[in-house]
Amino acid sequence: MKPKQFGKAAMLTVVLLALFIGGWEWYWRSKGYETLFDDSDALWADKRAMVYDAPDKSTVFIGSSRIKFDLDIPTWEKITGDKAVQLAMVGSSPLPALYDLGNDEKFGGKLVIDVTEPLFFSNAPPFNKTPKENIEYYKKRTPTQRFSFEVNHFLESNFVFLNREYLSTNALLGKLPLTRRPGVFVFPDFPEPFDRSYFSRQSFMADEFVKDTNLQKQMQANWAMLGEAAKRMPPASAKDLETMFTSAKDAIDKIRSRGGQVLFVRTPSSGPMGEGEKMGFPRDRFWDKLLAVTKTEGVHFADYAETAHFICPEWSHLSPADAITYTKLLIRQLEQKGWVFPHKTATANQSSTSKL
Amino acid sequence: MLFNSYTFIVFFAIMLALHNLPLSWKTKKVNLLLASYIFYAAWNPPFILLLWLSTVIDYFVGRALYNQKDGYQRKLLLVISLVGNLGMLCFFKYGGFLLENFVAVVNALGIDYQPAAPNIILPAGISFYTFTTLCYTIDMYKRKSEPVKSLLDFSLFVTFFPHLVAGPIVRPPQLVPQFETPRTASQQQLLNGLFLLSLGLFMKVVLADGMLAGSADLVFNAATALPTLDAWMGVLAFSGQIFFDFAGYSTCAIGIASCLGFTLPENFRYPYAAIGFSDFWRRWHITLSTWLRDYLYIPLGGNRHGEFRTYTALMLTMLLGGLWHGASWTFVVWGALHGIYLCVERLFRPKPLTPDQIILEAISNKEEAVEPPVITASASFAPAFLRNKGATNFFAALFTFFLVNVTWVFFRASDFPTAGRLLSSMFGNINGGVPVLTTLAILKVSVITVLLVLTHWFMRNTSVLQVAHKLKWWLVGIIWAFMLILLLLSQESSSSFIYFQF
């Protein structure tokens, strides 16, 4: 082939690529998809770097997926005037992030720790994997990774099909109706409208999910299956739990010694999952003991009349509308615990926050 | 900076633009050198000092070696260079390994010695640029080529960003002359380069990371024994992953250099179509195997001092080649296996013919050539497909591929118990292992492995560019677009290349 013909091949490549991108983008937009952000290690590291920004004007959140869904960041920021730095990680224990912040000499701000008992009070390696990877990524982040992140942010802001979780080759291949191999653990299929993520790392359910009880039932079945799988993992021993409590206390003490404020929060769960958590992790042995050992205040949703009634569509996370209400109530509950937001610009919901 | 990152795409676009501006050749070389330092500093800026140190020492020692008349002084200079280069490599790459083994030995002798674990970070590409500079000083010592005329050219030879971190390992005569005269890419070079860059990224991002890495990781990280199917699929997945990862990097490097008007040596030539292990090493990481041949095997005596010395040199070369890949005994075993395969192959290879035998052979071949094919076929007891030389070779290649896969177990396993567990699983010594791979994973590995082996077989005597230039332009356009579309759809994060750790 002569150079001219190779040039024609290159031109054809460009045309085909442009046509494909246009068509693919149009297809997914027509199916109701919107621009979303991959909740990657790079996005986590971007937020992790924000914990130093004006400590008097920001609050850091660590935990599991619940606080990612239940904290409505725009509501929080509008009412408190504080920036919300969301560092919670899906399906993970917050302890590695707590230790990381505790050991960070530069961090001395406000910290809210979300407690989801099966994840918090477990030392199963899968629950610590993502936190460890994200922390390591943050610590070793190179200038080029930061630059690539910015480019990726621009692209993800403009193209719907850039959705690694649901629209990448592997995600699409994963939907093929293949026979399941007996004995192989396959992570359950989460419906796409269940978990969408903003650039702030706030997760939310799409309207479609909130309205569709079949999708909700699919997620409930997923939780049931994961719950069964979790039962097969060895539970944390009494000694492990003691270590967790004391390590958490050490980290919290370090943050306090630098002028920081720390508080535990237990966000709502309902249905069989809520009941299971209540039975599997009795408050006196876990939540109450955690607060006592670490000498830290806590806000448990079940202790307040206005938050005790929340029903989670799939038992574990709040709908976007409830997340707004819950966020307003959480701010009031934090204020009752003595938290001050000096840059508060609006008043929280006026409903009283009476303890049960 | 990784080739498979957005940052690199922007960096490369700027470099291409700068390189095509009407600037003096010296300015363009300075641009390339600065860009190469930025490329390297993107990992860990302080390590750029090591690169400078290595460059400056070897430039001046190399010149002195070439010009020095006194034999003693020359040997002293060579020792300085070897100690400097290998010392740096030993400290950063093998420091922890040496200490670990020293502790194991003294503990075995009953001495309780427990030093603090060393916290040494391996500078990216140190094994590659050390070999690049080493070959220069050795060549200068042997006066094989002229010293590089300027520090700028020598620095660029060592640091030129396409090959800096993971090769191909270049020799001075391959690259230095290219810096002496102004060059920009012709249209053909630019298009070839862009095509190779697309292919390399496709191999790395789509095939290695997207399709195979997950299965390989699952199998090699499994804490328990596996069913035979899972074990083999994991090893085949790694076999494909390491090829696509490393050959993908080399293809990108060659493509990038071509876009800038430079030519880098070929590093892979369809290795999974190799018939035997000497053929494998003529096709796999060619620039390393030729380096080891020229700077280790031959100085150790090569095949010039009798059979025993030849086998010793072969084994030593492969053991050190294994250790070059990583500071672990598993890599040494990997090298040892390759050494044993090469020795066995050498032992059973046909002896060179005497002149009389050559004449006889020629005559008999002539007779066979005129013999009717049907008679030859009926006179043989072998199955028809095996009487075909191509088929026999194909099965020989498959057998080589099988043996190569066995060696990859030691290369990828983090320790010997893992390797042992996996080998037991592969060869059926396990009852009731726990399956870990899904149907989809098995399908992906199977399809890609079959296509990989067949592609290597049918391409074994050609090159991708030769084939691309023979195809219709529209077909090339479709294939090229297909690769880029899959690259876009895979949405893999920028994971590092496997060979960066070496």
What are the DSSP calls for B401-447, one per residue?
HHHHHHHHHHHH-SSHHHHHHHHHHHTT--SSPPP---HHHHHHHHH
User: Quick check: B192 contacting A, CB < 8 Å?
Assistant: yes
Residue B81, Cβ neighbours under 10 Å: how many?
Answer: 25
Instruction: Please state, for a pLDDT cut of 90, what percent of chain B lies above it.
Output: 56
The whole-angstrom separation of Cα B234 and Cα B212 is 9
| Contact criterion met (CB < 8 Å) for B440 and A173 | yes
Give tens-digit pLDDT for A59-72: 999 999 999 999 99
Question: What are the chain B neighbours of A181 within 8 Å (beta carbons)?
Answer: 435, 437-439, 442
Token pair 């060869």 is at which residue?
Answer: B427
Residue B423 has pLDDT above 60, yes or no: yes
3-state SS of chain A: helix, strand, coil percent to 5?
55, 10, 35
The whole-angstrom separation of Cα A341 and Cα A57 is 8
Chain A: nearest CA to B185, how far in angstroms? Answer: 12
The whole-angstrom separation of Cα B490 and Cα B170 is 32
Q: Least CB-CB distance to A144: which of B1, B211, B484?
A: B1
Question: What are the chain A neighbours of B440 within 8 Å (beta carbons)?
Answer: 173-174, 176, 178
The whole-angstrom separation of Cα B133 and Cα B54 is 7
Angle between helices B151-159 and B126-141 (to 10 degrees): 140
pLDDT confidence tier of residue B501, bands split at 50, 70 and 90: low
Question: What are the chain A neighbours of B43 within 8 Å (beta carbons)?
Answer: 142
Give tens-digit pLDDT for A12-27: 999 999 999 999 999 9
Q: Total domain count for chain A?
A: 1
Task: With respect to residue A49, please indicate whether it lies within any of the assigned structural domains.
Answer: yes
Chain A: nearest CA to B294, how far in angstroms? Answer: 37
What is the torsional sign of CA A142, A148, A154, A160? Answer: negative
Question: One-letter amino acid identity for B483?
Answer: M
- CATH number reported for the structural domain that contains residue A293 in this entry: 3.40.50.1110
Q: What is the predicted pLDDT for the residue at B69?
A: 84
Give tens-digit pLDDT for B182-210: 988 999 999 999 999 999 999 999 999 99
Q: What is the CA radius of gyration of chain B?
A: 25
Task: With respect to residue A253, please indicate whether it lies within any of the assigned structural domains.
Answer: yes
* Chain mean pLDDT for chain A: 89
Contacts with B290 (C-beta within 8 Å, 6 or more apart), sequence order: none
Q: What is the predicted pLDDT for the residue at B29?
A: 94
Residue B240 has pLDDT above 50, yes or no: yes
Mutate which of A36, A37, A144, A146 to disrupt the B interface (most B C-beta within 10 Å)?
A: A144
The whole-angstrom separation of Cα B173 and Cα B146 is 9
Is the ipTM value over 0.90, yes or no? no
Task: With respect to residue A10, please indicate whether it lies within any of the assigned structural domains.
Answer: no
Q: Least CB-CB distance to A40: which of B8, B187, B493?
A: B493
Q: Tell me which of A307 and B348 has the higher pLDDT.
A: A307
Give tens-digit pLDDT for A254-284: 999 999 999 999 999 999 999 989 988 999 9
Give tens-digit pLDDT for B57-102: 899 999 998 888 888 888 888 898 888 888 888 888 887 788 888 8
Task: With respect to residue A125, please indicate whether it lies within any of the assigned structural domains.
Answer: yes
3-state SS of chain B: helix, strand, coil percent to 5?
75, 0, 25
Q: What is the mean pLDDT of residues A184-191?
A: 85
Task: Please state the length of chain B.
Answer: 502
DSSP code, position A300: E
Q: Least CB-CB distance to B5: which of A20, A144, A181?
A: A144
The whole-angstrom separation of Cα A66 and Cα A118 is 12
Lowest mean per-residue pLDDT among A305-314, B71-80, B429-438: B429-438
Q: What is the predicted pLDDT for the residue at A354?
A: 44
Q: What is the predicted pLDDT for the residue at B371?
A: 38
Residue B370 has pLDDT above 60, yes or no: no
| Contact criterion met (CB < 8 Å) for B471 and A181 | no
Q: What is the mean pLDDT of residues A190-206?
A: 91
Token pair 């030519």 is at which residue?
Answer: B263
Token pair 């096709």 is at which residue?
Answer: B283
- Which range in A133-147, A159-173, B288-302, B398-412 is most confidently predicted, on average pLDDT? B398-412
CB pairs < 8 Å spanning A and B: 133
The whole-angstrom separation of Cα A275 and Cα B280 is 62
pLDDT confidence tier of residue B494, bands split at 50, 70 and 90: low
| Contact criterion met (CB < 8 Å) for A8 and B435 | no
B325 is catalytic: yes
Question: One-letter amino acid identity for B40?
Answer: Y
Angle CA(B79)–CA(B80)–CA(B81) in degrees, nearest 5? 90
Q: Which domain holds residue A147?
A: 42-171+198-336
Q: Least CB-CB distance to A147: which of B7, B474, B488?
A: B7
The whole-angstrom separation of Cα B253 and Cα A155 is 26
Task: With respect to residue A318, please indicate whether it lies within any of the assigned structural domains.
Answer: yes
| Contact criterion met (CB < 8 Å) for B192 and A174 | no
Q: Tell me which of B112 and A318 has the higher pLDDT.
A: A318
Q: What is the predicted pLDDT for the residue at B356?
A: 58
User: Quick check: B14 contacting A, CB < 8 Å?
Assistant: no
Q: What is the mean pLDDT of residues B436-453?
A: 96
Q: Tell me which of A226 and B480 has the higher pLDDT.
A: B480
Mutate which of B224, B440, B469, B470 to disrupt the A interface (most A C-beta within 10 Å)?
A: B440
The whole-angstrom separation of Cα A8 and Cα A24 is 24
Give tens-digit pLDDT for A209-229: 999 999 999 999 999 988 888
DSSP code, position B45: G
* Chain mean pLDDT for chain B: 86
Task: With respect to residue A94, please indicate whether it lies within any of the assigned structural domains.
Answer: yes
Instruction: Please state, for a pLDDT cut of 90, what percent of chain A lies above it.
Output: 62
Question: What are the chain B neighbours of A10 within 8 Å (beta carbons)?
Answer: 191, 194-195, 477, 480
Q: Least CB-CB distance to A152: which of B6, B186, B438?
A: B6
Q: What is the mean pLDDT of residues B109-120?
A: 74
Burial of A59 (0-12, 13-18, 19+ CB in 10 A): buried
Q: Please list the residues that pair with A24 across neighbouring strands.
A: none
Chain A: nearest CA to B226, how far in angstroms? Answer: 11
Residue B398 has pLDDT above 70, yes or no: yes
| Contact criterion met (CB < 8 Å) for A12 and B43 | no
8 Å CB contact between A193 and A208: yes
Q: Least CB-CB distance to B490: which of A5, A6, A168?
A: A168
Q: Which two tokens stand for residue A189?
A: 């299929």
Task: With respect to residue A299, please indicate whether it lies within any of the assigned structural domains.
Answer: yes
Task: With respect to residue A252, please indicate whether it lies within any of the assigned structural domains.
Answer: yes
| Contact criterion met (CB < 8 Å) for B187 and A3 | yes
Residue B496 has pLDDT above 70, yes or no: no
The whole-angstrom separation of Cα B402 and Cα B414 is 21
Q: What is the predicted pLDDT for the residue at B212?
A: 96
Chain B: nearest CA to A59, how far in angstroms? Answer: 29
Instruction: Please state, for a pLDDT cut of 70, what percent of chain A lies above it.
Output: 96
Angle CA(B476)–CA(B481)–CA(B482) in degrees, nearest 5? 100
Q: What is the predicted pLDDT for the residue at A100?
A: 95
Chain A: nearest CA to B466, how far in angstroms? Answer: 9
Residue B260, Cβ neighbours under 10 Å: how many?
Answer: 24
Residue B469 has pLDDT above 60, yes or no: yes
Question: What are the chain A neighbours of B192 within 8 Å (beta carbons)?
Answer: 6
Q: What is the predicted pLDDT for the residue at B2?
A: 83
| Contact criterion met (CB < 8 Å) for B476 and A40 | no
| Contact criterion met (CB < 8 Å) for B478 and A143 | no
8 Å CB contact between B139 and B145: yes
Pick from A304, A313, A318: nearest CA to A351: A304
pLDDT confidence tier of residue B355, bands split at 50, 70 and 90: low
Q: What is the predicted pLDDT for the residue at B474?
A: 94
Give tens-digit pLDDT for A313-347: 999 999 999 999 999 999 999 999 988 888 887 55
Q: What is the predicted pLDDT for the residue at B399?
A: 94
Chain A: nearest CA to B400, how far in angstroms? Answer: 31
| Contact criterion met (CB < 8 Å) for B474 and A142 | no
Burial of B482 (0-12, 13-18, 19+ CB in 10 A): middle
Catalytic residue, chosen from B325, B338, B456, B469, is B325
Residue B351 has pLDDT above 50, yes or no: yes
User: Quick check: B8 contacting A, CB < 8 Å?
Assistant: yes
| Contact criterion met (CB < 8 Å) for A12 and B485 | no
The whole-angstrom separation of Cα A101 and Cα A120 is 16
Angle between helices B126-141 and B172-180 (to 10 degrees): 90
Contacts with B31 (C-beta within 8 Å, 6 or more apart), sequence order: B15, B18, B19, B23
Token pair 């399906």 is at which residue?
Answer: A91
Q: Tell me which of B221 and B106 has the higher pLDDT.
A: B221
Pick from B68, B92, B94: nearest CA to B80: B68
8 Å CB contact between A83 and A59: yes
Chain A: nearest CA to B238, how far in angstroms? Answer: 18
Q: What is the predicted pLDDT for the residue at A350?
A: 46
Burial of B293 (0-12, 13-18, 19+ CB in 10 A): middle
